[in-house]
A and B are shown apart, each in its own frame.
Chain A
């Protein structure tokens, strides 16, 4: 139970962190990392598909409410990601950093594809360009680079909590 609380608190922290003005300054060529996605993926990878998808839906819905954008768009994408990564976590043996880095790369691309498709369906087709202009690939690389330190910290915290 305590490990769920840790992940929920981490997700809440990063939702607020990504809402701060100085988060805007953490960018590479105007592309910022998605800490929420990283934490969610690590959570789903370690906890499985059920907690992964529920956390994904919850955090996605909060992000949608705070963003003032299309309600349900992030919830949809994060639910799929939470479930998918959870399934991979169930199949793959071992919990090493390398797997989570590779996973994060693909997960970011999947997020980009899903959000672009949903935005094109419900908003304007122009959002597809975020994907086609390569920004999502850059975001994937940034997320991959940030995964090892976060994974390491989370594993440490998880160990402390479960002992």
Chain B
């Protein structure tokens, strides 16, 4: 009887100790030392995660590849036909591109998208249902820096994925735009009214476009693009489309729900735009 009581007392003491440590960690979570600790700890855990996730993915891919093989053969025939058509239109496209560049030079506009990119493979995601961060296999060794914008090509559209929030030697963590602590300067493609896009995850995979001028006529399906304001994302990259609008009776602004174009479930490769954030912007983002 007394042995059982001693065991129970011991486990209560351990419980209090563990909860105390957890609470302390949460309390100092935003301090520089803890952020550094988290980064170093992740650097230690990453190789295990990489090997573990890769092994599971390989087993899964082995079975799915058998079925995919049949599909690929059929697709190959179709693609060959399409390629012939594209080759014909390629010449036309090059001509238009040259003309566009010449005209832009004439009127003095420089392209906003003349950035170099690094292709990265998504190797893991957060195991937590609350966070939606992604891990890619490119890090400091590939010239990746914190706050670099990340884009992807899905359905032949270049769209925003998120931004780099932590960089290790061989890996980097991406904060997707649906994350609740993600804020991006955006604008409506047609009317050019600007706003701020905030993620809604874990509540929803859609985003909330805030501070849009009340006068803006927003309708279902309107495209939302990056505004270039904020210093992280270049201007003009597609983010998503409007799925609903909420205009209150009073107030200067209106809000809209935006469905991102990027489908995180299908995302395998991303492009990190190797554009350094300006010193001031970087400092502001660090302070957030």
Q: Is the beta-carbon distance between B25 and A62 smaller than 8 angstroms?
A: no
A-side interface residues, number (CB < 8 Å)? 58
Q: Which of B7, B26, B38, B56 contacts A16 (CB 8 A)?
A: B56
Q: Is the beta-carbon distance between B22 and A19 smaller than 8 angstroms?
A: no
Q: Which of B19, B125, B173 contacts A80 (CB 8 A)?
A: B19
Report the tally of A-B residue pairs with Cβ distances under 8 A.
Answer: 161
By a CB distance below 8 angstroms, the chain A residues around B8 are 49
Q: Is the beta-carbon distance between A22 and B14 smaller than 8 angstroms?
A: no
A154 to B226, CA, bound (A): 49
Interface residue ranges, A against B (CB under 8 Å): 12-13, 15-25, 30-32, 34, 36, 48-50, 53-54, 57, 60, 62-76, 79-80, 83, 86, 115, 118-119, 121-124, 126-127, 129-130, 133, 135, 139
A73 to B19, CA, bound (A): 10
B-side interface residues, number (CB < 8 Å)? 53
Contacts A19-B124, A127-B180; is A53 near B42 (CB within 8 Å)? no
Instruction: Output the nearest chain B residue to A119 by Cβ-Cβ distance.
Output: B130
Instruction: Output the nearest chain A residue to B40 by Cβ-Cβ distance.
Output: A65
Q: Is the beta-carbon distance between B265 and A19 smaller than 8 angstroms?
A: no
Q: Which of B18, B126, B180 contacts A67 (CB 8 A)?
A: B126
Q: Is the beta-carbon distance between A68 and B133 smaller than 8 angstroms?
A: yes
A126 to B202, CA, bound (A): 9
B112-136 CB mask vs A (1 if < 8 Å, else 0) is: 0000000000101111111101010
Q: Is the beta-carbon distance between A67 and B127 smaller than 8 angstroms?
A: yes
A121 to B23, CA, bound (A): 11
Q: Is the beta-carbon distance between A21 and B122 smaller than 8 angstroms?
A: yes
